[in-house]
Amino acid sequence: MENIWSSWNGNIRHSYENLFFPDTENEIVKIVKNAQKLRVVGTGKSSADIAAGTSTLVSLEKYNQILSIDHKSHRITVQSGILLKTLLQEMEKNGLAFPALPDIDDITVGGAIATGTHGTGKNAQSLSEYIVALKMVNASGEIDTIQSGDPALGAYKISLGLLGVITEITFQCIPRKVMSISERPMKDDLWLAAYKRMLQENDFLRILWLPHTGYGYVITGNYVNENERVLEKKGPWYYSYRRAVSKFLYQKAIKKPARIVTANKILKKLFFSKEQQKFGSLYDATVTKSRGSTLELAEWTVDIDRFDTLFFQLKKELNNKTNNAFVHIPMDVRFMKAETGWLANGLGKNIVTMGCVTRNAEEANHYKAFELVENLFLEHDGRPHWAKRFQCGRKVLNRLYPNWQNFVELRQKRDPEGKFLNAYLEKIFI
Ligand SMILES: Cc1cc2nc3c(=O)[nH]c(=O)nc-3n(C[C@H](O)[C@H](O)[C@H](O)COP(=O)(O)OP(=O)(O)OC[C@H]3O[C@@H](n4cnc5c(N)ncnc54)[C@H](O)[C@@H]3O)c2cc1C
Could you read off the pLDDT of 153-212 as tens digits, one per residue? Answer: 999 999 999 999 999 999 999 999 999 999 999 999 999 999 999 999 999 999 999 999
51 lines ligand 1 (CB under 6 A): yes
Contact 374, 390 (CB under 8 A): yes
Domains of the chain with CATH codes? 66-175 (3.30.465.10), 178-394 (3.40.462.10)
Residue 29: its pLDDT value, please? 98
Among 115, 137, 352, residue to substitute to test ligand 1 (most atoms within 8 Å of Cβ): 115
Show the low-confidence residues of the chain (pLDDT under 50).
none
Determine whether the shortest distance from the Cβ of 7 to ligand 1 is under 6 A.
Answer: no
Inter-residue contact 355 to 375 (CB < 8 Å): no
Ligand 1, closest atom to CA 46? 19
For ligand 1, atom 53, the nearest C-alpha belongs to 45
Residues 65-81, buried b or exposed e (16+ Cβ, 10 A)? eeeebeeeebbbbbbbb
The number of residues making up the chain comes to: 430
Q: Distance between CA 397 and CA 391 in Å, rounded?
A: 11
pLDDT score of 110: 98
- Pocket-testing residue among 31, 46, 113, ligand 1, by greatest number of atoms within 8 A of Cβ: 46
Residue nearest to atom 21 of ligand 1 (CA): 111
SS3 label, residue 173: coil
Q: What is the pLDDT of residues 352-376, one digit of tens each?
A: 999 999 999 999 999 999 999 999 9
pLDDT reported for residue 310: 98
Cβ–ligand 1 contact at 118 (below 6 Å) = yes
Q: What angle do CA 197, 183, 231 make, to 5 degrees?
A: 115
Give dist(CA 354, CA 308) in Å, integer: 12
Cα-to-centroid distance, 161 and ligand 1 (Å)? 11
In 296-426, DSSP assigns E strands to: 296-303, 331-336, 351-358, 383-384
- Give the pLDDT confidence score for residue 200 in this predicted structure: 97
**CA of 42 relative to ligand 1 center, distance in Å:** 7
The alpha carbon of 223 and the centre of ligand 1 are apart by a number of angstroms equal to 28
Nearest CA to ligand 1 atom 14: 117
Does residue 387 line the site of ligand 1, with CB under 6 A? yes
> What's the gap in Å between 115 CA and the centre of ligand 1?
6
Distance (Å, rounded) from C-alpha 269 to C-alpha 329? 12
pLDDT reported for residue 62: 98
Q: How many C-beta atoms lie closer than 10 Å to residue 400's C-beta?
A: 15
DSSP classification of residue 160: T
48 C-beta closer than 6 A to ligand 1: no
CB within 8 Å of 366: residues ≥ 6 apart: none
Among 302, 382, 320, 329, residue whose Cα is nearest residue 216: 329
Positions of E strands within 337-387: 351-358, 383-384
Residue 46 Cα to ligand 1 middle (Å) = 5
Backbone angles phi, psi at 196, to 5 degrees: -70, -40
Ligand 1 contacts CB of residue 354 (under 6 A) = no
The whole-angstrom separation of Cα 75 and Cα 98 is 11
Is the minimum distance from the CB of 112 to ligand 1 under 6 angstroms? Answer: yes
Q: From ligand 1's centre to the CA of 204, what distance in Å?
A: 23
Q: Is 138 exposed, middle or buried (0-12, 13-18, 19+ CB in 10 A)?
A: middle
Is 257 touching ligand 1 by the criterion CB < 6 Å?
no
Q: What is the pTM of this model?
A: 0.97
Q: 125: Cβ below 6 Å to ligand 1?
A: no
With a 6 Å cutoff on the Cβ, whether 345 touches ligand 1 is no
Give residue 129's pLDDT. 98
